[in-house]
Amino acid sequence: MKIKHPVTRRSVDARQASDQASSQPTNTRTFPKGFYWGVGTSSYQIEGAWNENGKGVSIWDTYTHKPGNIKNNDTGDLANDHYHRYREDVALMKEIGVNSYRFSIAWPRIFPEGTGQANPKGLDFYSRLVDELKAAGIEPFATLYHWDLPQTLQDKYGGWQSKDTAKAFADYAGYIAEHLGDRVKHFFTINEFRSFVEGGYQGFDTQVGGGKVLHLGGAPGLKLSNGDLNQVRHHAVLGHGLAVKAIRSRGRSGTKVGFAENMRIAVPVIETPEYIKAAERATRELNADFTTVMLEGRYTEEYLKETGKDAPKFTDDELKTIASPLDFVGINVYKPNTYVAPSDDPLGYRHIPINASHPKMQSEWHVFDPQCLYWAPHHVQSLWGAKSIFITENGCAASDVIADDGKVYDSDRVMFLRSYLAQLQRATADGVPVSGYFLWSGQDNFEWIYGYGNRFGLIYVDFKTQKRTPKLSAQWFREAVRRNAVV
Ligand code: GBH
């Protein structure tokens, strides 16, 4: 048997001429031509300027201003001061070489009261941001709702507890499509339905010192019953559907729209047709309340059976609106939700527990398994025949620090990105229609109830001085973007 020795004649040559093609690893995994490479952020997490230029108060302003809700009582009042530093931030993105950027629009900047009178200065900020991006050769992708609801709608309607909020959302979405649609071609309606609905409207209790119990989750900090919560879920997907219709009727003909959901992903333990089928079925049921109803226009039998008397109230007309045709599906993918195996019971699958020793990234919820970035788009195509899929978020928090030489060596984030992106490339090589990837996040930012403790950025932010320092991972990502490939 012949054993290949690593030091071949070829690799010696390669070292001598390191700038030649022969020095490149040969198993480069290339992405499709025209692939969108971007980074993502959201308004409340980076903008600051919470009360400037006519902006209305959002539920996250209210929530963070109440002591005890957020780690260290951090707030987004200043955050990354992106509202004033957006030019520098676009220049940094250009340096990384991304060709696209996913940001969100703060609804209360546009309509301070949620509906009614628009605030021209609010729109003006996003208009200037979009111009700056275009001039840098970066395609803008706008998310319309990344959780910062106008406080007025919370006070007046109880937020998403009412259909009136869904209707107001559609009006605001149509207004944006009308006013930015000349330059913004891609819109995401709502970011992570499950996160803001379950976190904000039910949340969870956690024991702190002295027998005190803290209620956590996020704004508006409610604790609804299961039935009321299911109705909120329904209003959220209805808001999405109404917004899609409004964008279609008030936007330009080339305007494209989809949602961005943190889908629950079931990963087959073993890659056989039986296990894969089981994982598909599980994924469909696990997302019955959001993704599945938006793509199928019906609640699954299992969901209606399981929720029973707590099932949402809905009409056929609403289901039609909820499933309005989309141009693409956006999914935020961080971790597998579950591992599954086939089973003889009627559902056809069973859950395999995640072992306690399973590797995790810094956030305690963040189970590490690159395979989920293969299976997530795979399931979306096989279950619903999606023609275009965007990975609207993927990334990880790490315990980044500035080293003595002034740099940030986030080798764990590089490992994370390399291994997850290899699985995404595997999906594209299998013919899964993935159109782009937005790394979360462009910069360290306000990580909701975790405050500024969990850093997700490619760029390190010193929140005292607002100094930005690109990390090692930014350099790594730049190379991936440049090659349109991972190695
Ligand atoms: C996204 O949420 C958000 O869109 C973004 O704003 C945020 O900064 C980013 O990701 C990083 O966290 O049920 O075990 O998953 C992240 C997804 C969903 C993580 C809810 C925490 C609760 C525990 N989040 N999840 S679990």
Q: What is the pLDDT of residues 74-120, one digit of tens each?
A: 999 999 999 999 999 999 999 999 999 999 999 999 999 999 999 99
Q: Residue 34 and residue 12: Cα distance in Å, rounded?
A: 35
pLDDT computed for residue 14 by the predictor: 42
Angle at 42 between CA 36 and CA 47, to 5 degrees: 125
Q: How far is the CA of 88 from the centre of ligand 1 (A)?
A: 27
Written as six digits, the tokens of 104 are 């969100």
Q: Indicate if the pLDDT at residue 225 is higher than 50.
A: yes
SS3 content of the chain, % helix, strand, coil (to 5): 45, 15, 40
pLDDT in tens, 153-190: 999 999 999 999 999 999 999 999 999 999 999 999 99
The candidate with the shortest Cα–Cα distance to 56, out of 148, 164, 175, 169, is 148
Note the pLDDT of residue 22.
55
Q: How many other C-beta atoms lie within 10 A of the C-beta of residue 404?
A: 5
Query: What distance in Å separates the CA atoms of residue 431 and residue 268, rounded to the nearest whole number?
Result: 19
Nearest CA among 89, 74, 48 for reference residue 459: 89
Average pLDDT of the chain to the nearest whole number:
95
- Omega cis (within 30) before 441: yes
Assess whether pLDDT exceeds 70 at residue 457: yes
Long-range Cβ pairs for the range 364-369 (8 Å, 24+):
365/335, 366/334, 366/335, 366/396, 366/397, 367/335, 367/336, 368/335, 368/416, 369/267, 369/335, 369/336
Instruction: Compute the distance between CA of residue 162 and CA of residue 156 in angstroms, rounded to an integer.
Output: 10
How many CB atoms lie under 10 A from the CB of residue 411? 12
State the closest ligand 1 atom to the C-alpha of 395, by its place in the atom list counted from 1. 11
Using most ligand atoms within 8 A of CB, pick from 393, 438, 456 the residue to mutate for ligand 1: 393
Question: Could you tell me the CA-to-CA distances from 422 to 226, 267, 388 in Å, in that order?
Answer: 39, 16, 19
Output DSSP code: residue 483. H
Q: Is 192 a catalytic residue?
A: yes
pTM over 0.85: yes
- Taking CA atoms only, the protein residue closest to ligand 1 atom 19 is 365
Answer whether 231's CB lies under 8 Å from 160's CB: no
pLDDT at 181: 98
Kindly list the protein residues whose Cβ atom lies closer than 6 A to any atom of ligand 1.
Answer: 42, 45, 191-192, 195, 262, 332, 334, 365, 393, 440, 447, 456
Residue 193 in this model has a pLDDT that exceeds 50? yes
Which residues are within 8 A (CB) of 173 and not within 5 positions of it... i.e. 6 or more apart? 144, 187, 189, 242, 243, 246, 247
Q: Is the pLDDT of residue 10 over 70?
A: no
- For residues 198 and 155, the answer to whether their CB atoms sit within 8 Å is no
Backbone angles phi, psi at 191, to 5 degrees: -95, 125
Distance from Cα 9 to the centre of ligand 1, integer Å: 49
Instruction: Please state whether beta strands 338-342 and 349-352 pair in parallel, antiparallel, or not at all (unpaired).
Output: antiparallel
pLDDT at 215: 84
**Residue 214 confidence class, pLDDT cut points 50, 70, 90:** confident
Q: What percent of the chain has pLDDT over 90?
A: 91
What span, in angstroms and rounded, lies between the C-alpha atoms of 64 and 59? 9
CA angle 416–420–424, rounded 5-degree value = 160
Q: What is the DSSP letter of 119?
A: -
What is the arithmetic mean of pLDDT over 123-130?
98
pLDDT band at 293; cut points 50, 70, 90: very high
CA of 209 from ligand 1 middle (Å) equals 25
Per DSSP, the residues of 153-170 read HHHHH-GGGSHHHHHHHH
**Angle ∠(304,307,308) on CA atoms, nearest 5:** 80
| CA 237 – ligand 1 centroid, Å | 19
The residue from 47, 132, 139, 192 that is catalytic is 192
Question: In which band, very low, low, confident or very high, does the pLDDT at 21 lie, cut at 50, 70 and 90?
Answer: low
What is the rounded end-to-end Cα distance, in angstroms, of the chain?
29
What is d(CA 53, CA 76) in angstroms, rounded to the nearest whole number?
A: 16
Confidence class of residue 216 from pLDDT cuts 50, 70 and 90? confident
* pLDDT for residue 430 is more than 70: yes
Q: Residue 381: is its pLDDT beyond 90?
A: yes
> So what's the pLDDT on residue 24?
65
**Structure confidence by residue, pLDDT tens digits, 31-54:** 999 999 999 999 999 999 999 999
39, 60, 193, 195, best to mutate for ligand 1 pocket (most atoms within 8 Å of CB):
195
Confidence of residue 447 (pLDDT cuts 50, 70, 90): very high
User: Can you give the pLDDT at residue 364?
Assistant: 92
Tokens describing residue 152: 């007025």
Apex 259 CA angle, 57 and 419, nearest 5: 110
Q: Specify the pLDDT at position 261.
A: 98
- Mutate which of 365, 445, 452 for ligand 1? The one with the most ligand atoms within 8 Å of its CB, which is 365
Rounded Cα–Cα distance for residues 300 and 284 (Å): 9
Given a cut of 80, whether residue 13 has pLDDT beyond it is no
What tokens were used for 161? 């507890």
User: 3-class SS at 77?
Assistant: coil
Protein residue with least CA distance to atom 14, ligand 1: 365
What Rg do the C-alpha atoms of the chain give, in angstroms?
23
Residue nearest to atom 13 of ligand 1 (CA): 365
- Distance (angstroms) between ligand 1 centre and the Cα of 447 equals 9
Give residue-wise pLDDT tens across range 346-356.
999 999 999 99
Helix-helix angle 226-250:163-180, to 10 degrees:
30
Question: Nearest 10 degrees: CA dihedral of 158, 163, 169, 174?
Answer: -160
Picking from 367, 362, 370, the residue whose alpha carbon sits closest to that of residue 398 is 362
Phi, psi of 10 (to 5 degrees): -65, -45
Give residue 119 CA to ligand 1 midpoint distance, Å.
31
